[in-house]
Structure 1
Amino acid sequence: MQKIKKNIAISDSGFVFDPGTGDSYSLNPTGLEIVQLIKSGKNFQEILHEMLEKYEVDEESFERYFYDFTATLKQLRLTEPNGED
């Protein structure tokens, strides 16, 4: 499971700031929720369970979205380089 870098600042409104690069991003509410679950140490199965309980989404669609989203986080260098699955 990928881990969000410790120095990444994330506001409750979804504003993400990387002090190492000076880059900033905005997350939608679902993206923010997923990032917060990742930061809290939850694994994919725990995140999947929470999202299926809360939203009307099927497991396959969420899994695809989740891995696309975490690939984007990795591409933006917001995750630890060794935080691979």
Structure 2
Amino acid sequence: MLKIKKNIAISDSGFVFDPGTGDSYTLNPTGLEIIQLIKSGKSYEEILQEMSAKYEMDGESFERYFYDFTSMLKQMRLTENHGED
């Protein structure tokens, strides 16, 4: 399960700050929503259900977006892995 590191600060406006590196990022509203769902401990399936219902997006499109987004989070070292990805 993918988790956002505990020390990562995320504002309601989409500003993300990593105090470990001093790096900061800005998320679009959809990215912010997804990172908040990940941070709250929701599984991929729960996130898929919530986002596809809200945005009327098909599962295949969302899956591609989700994995691109989480790959970017991993590259920025904002995540920690526990068990499976």
TM-score bucket (shorter structure):
over 0.9
For 2:23 and 2:60, locate their aligned partners in 1 and report how far apart those are by CA, in whole Å: 32
For 2:71 and 2:8, locate their aligned partners in 1 and report how far apart those are by CA, in whole Å: 17
Counterpart in the other structure of 2:62: 62
For 2:58 and 2:34, locate their aligned partners in 1 and report how far apart those are by CA, in whole Å: 16
For 1:54 and 1:61, locate their aligned partners in 2 and report how far apart those are by CA, in whole Å: 14
Greater fraction of residues in strand: 2
Helix, strand or coil: the match of 1:63?
helix
Where in structure 2 are the equivalents of 1:1-85 lying within 5 Å?
A: 1-80=1-80, 82-83=81-82, 84-85=84-85
The Cα shift of 1:7 comes to: 0.1
For 2:39 and 2:9, locate their aligned partners in 1 and report how far apart those are by CA, in whole Å: 11
Gaps of 5+ in 2: none
TM-score calculated relative to the size of structure 1: 0.95
Count of aligned positions: 84
For 2:54 and 2:76, locate their aligned partners in 1 and report how far apart those are by CA, in whole Å: 28
Helix, strand or coil: the match of 1:37?
helix
Cα RMSD over matched residues?
0.8
Post-superposition CA distance 1:18-50 (Å, at most 9, x none): 000000000000000000000000000000000
For 2:42 and 2:16, locate their aligned partners in 1 and report how far apart those are by CA, in whole Å: 20
Deviating runs (4+, > 2 A) in structure 1?
none
